[in-house]
Structure 1
Amino acid sequence: MPRPVADGKIGSMTAFDVRPVTEDERRSTFDLLGRSLHSNRVSDELWSRFGVSWPAAHKFGAFDGDTPIGIASSFDTDITVPGGGVLPAAAVDGVGVRADRTRRGVLTELMRVQLADVAARGLPLAVLHASEPTIYGRFGYGSAALGKTIRVARPAARLHDRVPLAGEVRMLTPDEAVKEIPGLYHRIARRPGMIGRPPLWWPVMHDRLAGPDGDHVVAVHSGPDGDDGFVVYETVSRRSLEAPDEGAVLQVRDLHADSPVARAGLWRFLLSVDLVSAVHARHRPVDEPLSAMLTDHRHAATLAVEDDLWLRPVDVAAALAARTYRAADPVVLAVTDRLLPANTGHYEVGPDGARRTGAAADLTLDVDTLGMLYLGEWSATALVQAGRVQAGDPAAVARADELFTTIAAPWCGTHF
């Protein structure tokens, strides 16, 4: 039966039903998502090629009768956590509500049902990229990894002569890009926050751009042991009537490397392309040392630092137990989870791992703030100062800083 939901703005009742999406409803829910995100309508031809990346599995729709008015989608993947462990996770890849049904409880019910499903299937974490950051905190997601947007001036920017120089870079044909890059990505070492890219991810997020009908270029770095890095980019023209000789901009979409040498080789390649005025890259790791690699660091400008990944602990005990911690005396976290109340409780975290405990709390926080702390992007000190963590024992804050910190900044680096 449809579920009546009060409209908080005008007090009316709107009936809708939230249920799993069927195979016959894949196209209509995908079109709904596109309209809610103001995307162009997908043609029949494109749907025939890329609809495989929108399976019915793990999708929940809000329906008014047979008409979809909201969608919450995810796909199963895995994520690397501090210490190198890999945990199964739900990647939330599409959430939207029809414009005339917003602010009537549709999104809240969709997210509630989706989280209950993720928990029932035993996935300890859920992750997403937020189109509107103010939405997802109330559903337990926290901004867990940041990324920076950089712009490197060409031809002025030059790599320092001490930057490693080894290996070679080759450009792939579109057919080679479709065939070779998935395996290379899965061979590259992963830092905390990086996720697996399942088969359904590649057709629409890579092949559509870099394959035979795409307009992106793919180059691969090869070292002594074979291929060890790749970059995907497009060329954006800057020519105009006022500036007919303005060089193009290389817009980097995807750059992953298995070592500092491979990363340096890929950036050396990008900075060597002729007739280019700048290289622009969004959502790069905040600790990528590109400016230090240049003879003049001012030629690499950081234009923005923004959220790169949001994380939601779905099974707090399993998530805390899966990562490692640095050497410090344990702290006890009191976690509150309003949507998944089984997570609410006290957890002792220390160098030997994490477990539930009946001990008094040192630090108190909501589950969304735990998502911010989990990968090591935010320190406990910063979260206390921001009012997101309450410290019952001030000495515990420094201990938590040491326990949760990571050497490499967390980073996702995958669009979904």
Structure 2
Amino acid sequence: MTDFDVRPVADDERRETLAVLLQSLHGKPLTDEEWAEIDSAWKTEGSFAAFDGDTPIGLAHSFGTELVVPGGGTIEVAAVDGIGVRADWTRRGVHTAMQHAQLAYFAERGKILSCLHASETTIYGRFGYGVGTRIRTLRIERPAARLREGVPVAEGHVRFLSPEEAVKQGPELYRRVGLHRPGMLARPGNWWPTMFNRDAGPQGRYRLAVHNGHDGPDGYVLYETVERATLEDPEKGALLRVRDFHAATPEVENALWRFLLSVDLVSAIHVRTRPVDDALPLLLNDSRHAGTLAVEDDLWVRLIDVEAALAARTYGAAAPVVIEVTDDQLPGNTGRYEVGPGGVRRSDETAGLRLGVDVLGMLYLGEWRPADLARSGRIEVLDADSLARADVLFPTAVHPWCGTPF
């Protein structure tokens, strides 16, 4: 018996439940002007709130989009973009109840997978989420950092868009770049007002620089500059902080790096959400001028329909392996699956590997080698040859990368 109720969010409850979420994340309630900007984009489908009587005390919000899986295909997924509980109601089962309600809803609606960016890393494994992608934070020292001679750079030019142009053209720019890595997400129409326009639009602090090639725009970088001059060091250059960086080809990416490295009166560039295998240090005359500050978790993946999710991606050239999966929240997923280049099916054969659905989420996009997960005790190895084959089946040629905040 609980002293709160969990139910889907009604349309007329959107603003007050969002206020609870913002409060739980130590943010401020939206002003009328701010709410007007996102009102039409803040949907309720797939979102659940907890109530004490008629008073909201927590929210688990999501939106629908598409995710690129290994092999280049896409699947429809639920992106959970906010879960929070009012501070005076924490540690009373509210978060757990909302998570269970949301997962059950995803399963009933035939969702294959859900994903999120975790504010706390110790929470979501309990609900079957695993770290599916990671990100690298780079700090580039200026003006010392320079591109090497011979770095392949796309022909074209870079120009700034006005805030009004940025808001109007942002969705088409991202579409032209394309979803070219496992883990990348499509950005639906309701993503832009809440996650891009507030930074790039007339009220934002960021500038949008677009690379234009022979066939039109093919990459962009969204960044701000932060003043660092002090009384003690009045000539210290600004910090250039990158928010969003996408390019259709490595050559266009190199051209955008060249642009960033050419901005005057900058002493350092900080970019957080880059792929783990970002090539920037190799592009420089001295790779030490691009230091890695951190490699950390990014997109957490939760398989809602294990068989459908496994069948949606491709695998390396190895004989099939039978894995045994355990899923406490969605027990219909519990069972054995034969996984191989020829497809995926339920199996009654003896399993070679045993793992939880959260660990399967870590394997799914190719970020982690099965042998490393076995070494850490996350995968139980019942047959050593199965582990060797899984090391060929699951990894991808490039590290998966999301590249989209939400």
3-state SS, counterpart of residue 397 of structure 1: helix
Aligned pair 1:226/2:240, yes or no?
no
Q: CA deviation at 1:51?
A: 2.6
Deviates most, 124-133 or 17-26? 17-26
Which residue of 81, 106, 121 maps to 2:69? 81
TM-score, normalised to structure 1, is 0.96
User: What secondary structure does 1:233 align onto?
Assistant: strand
Cα distance per residue 1:81-117 (max 9 Å; x no partner): 0000100000001101111111111111100000011
Determine if the alignment matches structure 1 residue 172 to structure 2 residue 147: no
Q: Equivalent residues in 2 for 1:210-359 (5 A)?
A: 210-359=200-349
| Contact 2:176 2:217 (C-alpha < 8 Å) held by counterparts | no
CA drift of 1:376 comes to 0.5
Q: Which amino acid aligns with 2:157?
A: E
Structure 2 match to 1:95: 83
In structure 1, C-alpha distance between the alignment counterparts of 2:121 and 2:170, rounded to whole Å: 31
Q: Which runs of 5+ in 1 are unaligned?
A: 6-14
Matched position secondary structure for 1:115:
helix
User: Which residue of structure 1 lines up, in the alignment, with residue 351 of structure 2?
Assistant: 361
Match of 1:376 among 352, 363, 366: 366
TM-score (norm 2): 0.98
The CA deviation string for residues 355-387 of structure 1, in whole angstroms up to 9 with x for no partner, is 111111000000000000000101000000010
For residues 291-332 of structure 1, what are the alpha-carbon distances to aligned partners after superposition, in whole Å with 9 as ceiling and x for unaligned?
000010000000000111000000000000000001001111
* Amino acid in the other structure paired with 1:41: P
Task: Report deviation, 1:152.
Answer: 0.4
Q: Distance in 1 between matches of 2:102 and 2:380?
A: 29
The DSSP-based 3-state class of the residue aligned with 1:162 is: coil
C-alpha contact 1:246 1:277 (8 A) present in aligned 2:
yes
Q: CA deviation at 1:225?
A: 2.0
Query: Structure 2: which amino acid aligns with 1:289?
Result: A
Distance 1:27 1:176 in 2: 28
Residue by residue over 1:279-299, the C-alpha shift from the partner in whole angstroms, topping out at 9 and shown as x without a partner, is 100020011100000010000
Paired residue total:
404
Are 2:65 and 1:106 equivalent residues in the alignment? no
Secondary structure in structure 2 of the residue aligned to 1:187: helix
Deviation at 1:224, TM superposition (A): 2.0
SS in 2 for 1:134: coil
Whether the 8 Å CA contact 1:222–1:262 is kept in 2: the answer is: no
Are 1:391 and 1:397, in contact at CA under 8 Å, matched by a contact in 2?
yes
CA distance in 2, matches of 1:238, 1:397: 51
User: Residues of 2 paired with 1:383 and 1:116: CA distance?
Assistant: 28
Q: Is the 8 A contact 1:21 1:59 kept in 2?
A: yes
State the one-letter code of the partner of 1:95: I
Cα separation, 1, equivalents of 2:284 and 2:20: 46
2:8 maps to which residue? 20
SS at match of 2:235: coil
Is the Cα–Cα contact under 8 Å of residues 61 and 68 in structure 1 kept in the other structure? yes
Q: 2:103 aligns with which of 94, 104, 115?
A: 115
- Rounded Cα–Cα distance in structure 2 between residues aligned with 1:391 and 1:340: 23
Structure 2 counterpart of 1:200, one-letter code? N
Contact kept, 8 Å, 1:150 with 1:280, in 2: the verdict is yes
Q: Is the 8 A contact 1:30 1:54 kept in 2?
A: no
Q: Secondary structure at the match of 1:169?
A: strand
**How far did 1:189 drift?**
3.0
* Amino acid across the alignment from 2:320: P
Per-residue Cα deviation, 1:207-247 (whole angstroms, up to 9, x for no partner)? 11101121100011122222111110011111111111110
Aligned-residue sequence identity (percent) comes to 58
Summarize the alignment of residues 142-221 of structure 1 with structure 2, pairs less than 5 Å apart: 142-165=130-153, 166-190=155-179, 191-221=181-211
Q: Give the equivalent residue in structure 1 for 2:113.
A: 125
CA shift, 1:41, in A, is: 2.2
